[in-house]
Amino acid sequence: MPPDNSASCGVSIIQFDPDGDVILVIPSEAQKRTARFQINSHSLCLASPVFRAMLGINASFKEGNALRNRNASSPPIDITLEDDEPRALAVLLRIVHHQYDWIPRTLNGNQLYQVAIVCDKYDMRGVLGLWLDQWIPLDTNCGGKIVGDQWLYIAYTFGRKALFTQLSKDLILTSTVDANGTLLAPSSTSDSAQSTSSFNHYIPSSILGTCGARLGFLVVYTDRLQRKFLHADSRP
């Protein structure tokens, strides 16, 4: 039976498990809306070590204590998750609760990116399994409307090794470094030096640092090539 969905007064309620012991509350201050997802905490703990740390039997968080103290007649406990994209979280919760008919067969770049953020935050890549093959076929074109470093983040989060290697190479070739050796994102316009933007803050700094180091080496090597071929060290 499909879950009951209802929306009223800016509140959207989805019962992923009608007998669920937890309601995830995802407020959106900007849009004055709130999503309430009734879920099974055991399923979620199996899917996410982050939720296991929060809600598991050995959890020391107040949410874990509240769960342990409830009985069969107790209402589900509310847990508020700030800053999550409810639609992306809902996709993951559908998978966790085995409601495969409710899972989109395709996701565009932005939707994938939103799923990646939630997936990364709660360390839930493992539950995606074959859905990733469905959403990101091997011949995926990484162009489109979202910028390249978002695709890099998607490839990193979802463990797409070849794609990650290819995109990180592209990033090295198209980025610049400042005087401090800090990697600067490719500019969105081709001819303005002032339009370099910062990178997506979800990308681990270790990745950007490694890209910056490799680019720094390439800049030095390029300078050496120029000196060799243009005889810059033997000015007339």
Partner 1 sequence: MLECIYQKIETYRDSAAVLCAYKTKGDLCDSFFLGFLMKTFTRFKIYSPNISERDNYQASLSIQGLKNVLDGLTIPNIVLQDGTSGRCDRCGYPRPTAHAYTCSPMPGLKRRVGVMLTEIRGLEWTQFVRNSSIGGATTGPKNQDLWDYLEYN
Contact code string over 72-111 relative to partner 1, x by CB under 8 A: ----------------------------------------
Report which DSSP code applies to 75.
Answer: P
| Cα 89 from Cα 143, distance rounded (Å) | 25
CB neighbour list of residue 1: distance below 8 Å, 6 or more residues apart: none
Residue 87: its H or E element: helix 86-96
- Give me the least distance between CB of 213 and partner 1, in Å please: 11
**Which is it for strands 22-28 and 33-39: parallel, antiparallel or unpaired?**
antiparallel
| Residue 196 is a binding residue for partner 1 (CB under 8 A) | yes
- Give me the least distance between CB of 101 and partner 1, in Å please: 26
Contact code string over 141-160 relative to partner 1, x by CB under 8 A: --------------xx--xx
First CA to last CA distance, the chain: 84
Report which DSSP code applies to 185.
Answer: P
Residues 13, 50, 66, 77: which binds partner 1 (CB under 8 A)?
A: 50
Contact 207, 177 (CB under 8 A): no
Amino acid making up residue 121? K
Region of 5-13, 70-78, 91-99, 205-213 interacting with partner 1 (CB under 8 A): 205-213
Token pair for 148 = 């390249």
Residues 2, 75, 143, 236: which binds partner 1 (CB under 8 A)?
A: 236
Interacting residue ranges for partner 1, rule: CB under 8 A:
48-50, 52-53, 123-126, 155-156, 159-161, 164-170, 172-176, 178, 186-187, 191-196, 204, 206-207, 210-211, 214-215, 218-219, 221-223, 225-227, 229-232, 234-236
